Structure 1
Amino acid sequence: MSLILYFLLVFVWGLSWIAIKWQQGDVALEVSIFYRFFIAAVIMLVMGKFMNKLQHTSGQDHVWFALQGASLFCFNFIAFYVATSYIPSGLVALLMATAPLFNSIHGRLFFGAPITFNFVLGMLFGLVGIGFLFANELSTLQLSLNTLYGVLYSLVGTWCFSIGNMLSVKNTNKGIRPFTATSYAMIYGCVCLLSIIFFKQLNFNFELTTLYIGSLLYLSIPASVLGFTAFLVLVNRIGASNAAYILVCTPVIALTMSSIFEGYVWTFSAGVGLVLICLGNVVSRMHEDMFNLAIRLFKWRPVRLTDQ
């Protein structure tokens, strides 16, 4: 079941990059993000009510839900949207692929989770593969203040995303199921977005176009309702670091969509990158006993980074 959710999320979130691009226009980014998660929150609350999926929660639980909503459904998306105004969206995707590293560090700091050698090795394969995929974009990127802003916003967004993952783990450790936590967190994310919208005095305008409405519905339902619920289930099943490796794989789908809709041309380096990403995915998710057996065959000494 976890494997099915894993590859389903790679596909669903891979498509969301082109949908996010189609959201950019006359509607302020904070307003578009609010529309997305308001629709998603309403759907999840209705589902939770009629399917009896919402657990009883305490006031203290809602404090953690609010923090999760602010980090996972507000500030991280604002940072990513702003980043795409400074640097190419492909580079934003590349920088977001560092989420497993953030999760590994945060997991070690907050929960004492071990960092295994095979995960780090697989992550390195994946990041190098992403570098090959975006070799052309990186080679033509000019270093400037705007570039530095774009990189900074991307890393801030990824950090917020990782903090949201840690808060999800904490909620689950308290016995709260991902559906309940996600439903309430989305509500608090919308409240946070509303505060920003009113503070900046933004207009609640709307684009009555097929492209904007279609991309909004896709981002609200498959990418948010199904995507985030499934992702947080995976966080609890296979760990935050392994689950976040999805973000290293999604650029493959994103580039495929880009080749269809934006004229992206596949190159030899992009093909090498795809192979490295697949290899990294296998190594990263390999059971530790299997990995240790494999490296013994090559007479390597298995290590745990946390044991050093």
Structure 2
Amino acid sequence: MNDTEAPQPSRLAVLLPFAIVTLIWGSTWIVIRDQLGTVPPSWSVSYRFLIAGIGMLAYAAWRGERIVLDARGWAFAGALAVLQFCLNFNFVYRAEDHITSGLVAVVFALLLVPNAILGRIFLGTQLGPRLLVGSGVAMAGVALLFVHEARVDPNGPAESMIGIGITMMGVLAASIANVLQGTQTARRYPMVPMLGVAMLIGAGVDAMIAWTLHGPPVIEWRAGYLFGLLYLGVFASAIAFTLYFGVLRIIGPAKAAYSSVIVPVIAMLLSTLFEGYRWSPLAAGGAVLAMMGLVIALSASKPAR
């Protein structure tokens, strides 16, 4: 079957959740920035996934889905917890101590590269010509966005390199977790209770790291912080990851990672509305190329095998 034969309903089933996830995650960078300061990052991550995990299991119970995991299921949940809900987010939150949220978002767009490579190696995902062309166009856009954000970043070169390095470690952890979600092992278990369990395990690991590094729990009772936690826990975690991993299982990790390519563009658009962000020719050109690459790649909506 060639890469243009996917029926229209399957494209809609992919594009709608893809759009929702991208819009949600495009808004999280501003919210995460507001979470930094009084509360150590590891505690904020722990609270986020405690909220998300409880919400996921409550939703699973409402749907009548039980948590029935064998040894392999618990091992899978533990691996997902450490990679996706611990290492990934701890690295991202800490990176924003060194570089701007915009630069973190742009660097995270490189998730497309390891997802494509690891998906090809471990899942046998086909990298068709449209995907390769779209990836090339999108990466050119990411390069322009990177140059722009690096120029406006107020931190020095040393801080920037530290922040970029920390972000790349988060990218690698997220990519491995993405590929795990595309395996047959992941498909053996109901997604919602599995994610709920993984999020709660991740919250526990995050809490142990936070207690070791920063001592007992710290909370900020400011309304903005608390509402930010709820938004990140419910919308950006429980809802978004369910939709994202569902899309990933259909189209594979390479195409699913295009959400990370468009997220910086959404973040910059929201910054324009709420923070007075001003577009430069580099930023505008990068955004256009990123969108063109997305259209090219996702026009080949062949499901992953």
* Superposed counterparts of 1:264-275, under 5 Å: 264-275=277-288
| Within-5 A mapping of 1:135-214 | 135-140=147-152, 144-170=157-183, 174-214=187-227
Give, in angstroms, the shift of residue 199 of structure 1: 1.9
CA gap 1:92/1:201 in 2 versus in 1, 3 angstroms = closer
**Distance of 1:74 and 1:116 partners within structure 2:** 33
Aligned equivalent of 1:14:
26
Q: Is the 8 A contact 2:115 2:179 kept in 1?
A: yes
Within the alignment, does 1:249 sit opposite 2:271 as a pair?
no
Whole-Å separation in 1 of the counterparts to 2:185 and 2:297:
23
1:291-302 equivalences in 2 (<5 Å): none
Give 1:250's aligned amino acid: V
The answer to whether the 8 A contact 1:27-1:206 is kept is yes
Deviates more, 1:168-177 or 1:101-110: 168-177
Judge conservation of contact 1:6–1:234 (CA < 8 Å) in 2.
yes
SS for the counterpart of 1:239 is: helix
- The root-mean-square deviation of aligned C-alpha atoms, in Å, is 1.9
The offset of 1:138, in angstroms, is 2.2
Say which of 21, 29, 51 aligns to 1:39: 51
Single out whichever of 252-261 and 32-41 deviates more from structure 2.
252-261
Matched position secondary structure for 2:182: helix
Q: TM-score, normalised by structure 1?
A: 0.88
Taking only the aligned residue pairs, the percentage that are identical comes to 29
- Secondary structure of 1:74's partner? helix
Q: Tell me which residue corresponds to 2:235.
A: 222
Of residues 226-235 and 117-126 in structure 1, the stretch that sits farther from structure 2 once superposed is 117-126
2:8 corresponds in structure 1 to none
Distance in 1 separating the partners of 2:215 and 2:128 = 46
- Single out whichever of 225-234 and 52-61 deviates more from structure 2: 52-61
Number of corresponding residues: 289
Question: Residues of 2 paired with 1:78 and 1:51: CA distance?
Answer: 31
Instruction: Give the direction of change, closer, same or farther, for the CA distance of 1:68–1:288 in structure 2 (3 Å limit).
Output: closer
Q: Amino acid of the residue matched to residue 26 of structure 1?
A: T
Is the contact made by 1:172 and 1:236 (CA closer than 8 Å) also made in structure 2?
Answer: no
Q: Deviations over 1:103-153 (max 9, x none)?
A: 111112222222223212212222222333454332355763322211111
Between the aligned partners of 1:20 and 1:140, the Cα distance in structure 2 is: 20
State the alpha-carbon separation in 2 of the partners of residues 145 and 201 from structure 1.
25
CA distance in 2, matches of 1:4, 1:247: 16
Question: In structure 2, what residue type is equivalent to 1:75?
Answer: L
Structure 2 counterpart of 1:23, one-letter code: Q
Q: CA deviation at 1:180?
A: 2.8
User: Which range is displaced more, 207-216 or 222-231?
Assistant: 207-216
2:55 partner letter: I
Deviation readout 1:11-59 (Å, 9 max, x if unpaired): 1111111111111120010001111100110111111123212452212
Q: Which runs of 5+ in 2 are unaligned?
A: 1-12
Question: CA contact under 8 A between 1:171 and 1:181: conserved in structure 2?
Answer: no
Report the TM-score when normalising by structure 2: 0.89
Once the two structures are TM-superposed, the CA of residue 171 in structure 1 deviates from its matched residue by 5.4
Secondary structure of the structure 2 residue equivalent to 1:219: helix
Moved more, 219-228 or 126-135: 126-135
Q: CA contact under 8 A between 1:87 and 1:150: conserved in structure 2? A: yes
Kept in 1: contact 2:57–2:192 (CA 8 A): no
Query: In 1, distance between residues paired with 2:132 and 2:150?
Result: 23
Contact 2:109 2:261 in 1 (8 A): yes
In structure 2, the CA distance between the partners of 1:173 and 1:219, relative to structure 1 (3 Å rule), is closer
Report the AA paired with residue 284 of structure 1: A
Larger Rg: 1
Verify the 8 A CA contact 2:48 2:232 in the aligned structure 1: yes
User: SS at the partner of 1:53?
Assistant: coil
The CA deviation string for residues 217-264 of structure 1, in whole angstroms up to 9 with x for no partner, is: 110111111000100101101111111110000111111222233331
Contact kept, 8 Å, 1:96 with 1:247, in 2: the verdict is yes
1:87 and 2:99 correspond: yes
The equivalent residue for 1:303 is none
Q: 4+ runs of 1 displaced by more than 4 Å?
A: 140-143, 171-174
- The separation in 1 between residues aligned to 2:134 and 2:200, in whole angstroms, is 35
